[in-house]
Structure 1
């Protein structure tokens, strides 16, 4: 499902492939393909990626198509794997949002963009 909200242009820091999760680059105005959940995730690249230094679009809100890297269920919190594809988040990971549809490895799924950080579990005595 694709119902994007805010879409912004960024300059690619390194190659950014289509329909993958991105994070901020090293300077203002730059974005790069995410490689895990340790950095703030800011959006999903559109159907057109960008080569190093090229301008590309990033979906920052709404529903965005993204490639899955594993089996994902509706509602799973989503972070990035080493290739920028969606995977289930672990506690402490930055997330891009929540799966809008179920899917499997290499399928084009959908994420409801709601960036944040996956909470650590609270242990009660």
Structure 2
């Protein structure tokens, strides 16, 4: 994969590689919900608590799948920071980190195109 922008943030707790992270106070943490303020996915190395974590914030990155999705699906976070297909839900603003660049099954490491945004229902 060819990330075009990688930013380092302080890990508020240990973060394993390829997990989706959210913004926190003075750092980042593993995302636990599709409504978290998602900012990207950790690189392959992850980071220990209070360490510096490289987060892919531009171009193509890789992420761990939390379930089955297909090429082109918008991706959000499950409760463990893994990527799942983002589905609009009434009364929720679902945040995404981008789009799947290949099909995936649970626990696969797959490429994604970083394209942060939100989806919701009308």
TM-score after normalising by structure 1: 0.90
Where does residue 49 of structure 1 map in the other structure? Answer: 46
- In 2: Cα distance, 1:7 partner to 1:76 partner: 23
Q: Are 2:85 and 1:88 equivalent residues in the alignment?
A: yes
**2:7 maps to what in 1?**
8
* Cα displacement string for residues 40-90 of structure 1 (whole angstroms, at most 9, x for unaligned residues): 211110011111101110110111111101111011110001110000112
Q: CA RMSD in A?
A: 1.0
- Greater C-alpha radius of gyration: 1
CA contact (8 A) 1:22 1:42 kept: yes
Matched, 1:63 2:64: no
Aligned to 2:20: 21
Cα offset for 1:3?
A: 1.4
Aligned residue pair count: 118
Q: Unpaired segments of 5 or more residues in structure 2? A: none
State the partner residue of 2:117. Answer: 116
Q: Does 1:107 align with 2:108?
A: yes
| 1:72 aligns to 2:72 (yes or no) | no
Uncovered stretches (5+) of structure 1, i.e. residues with no partner: none
Distance 1:110 1:32 in 2: 21
Determine if contact 1:18/1:48 at 8 Å carries over to the other structure.
yes
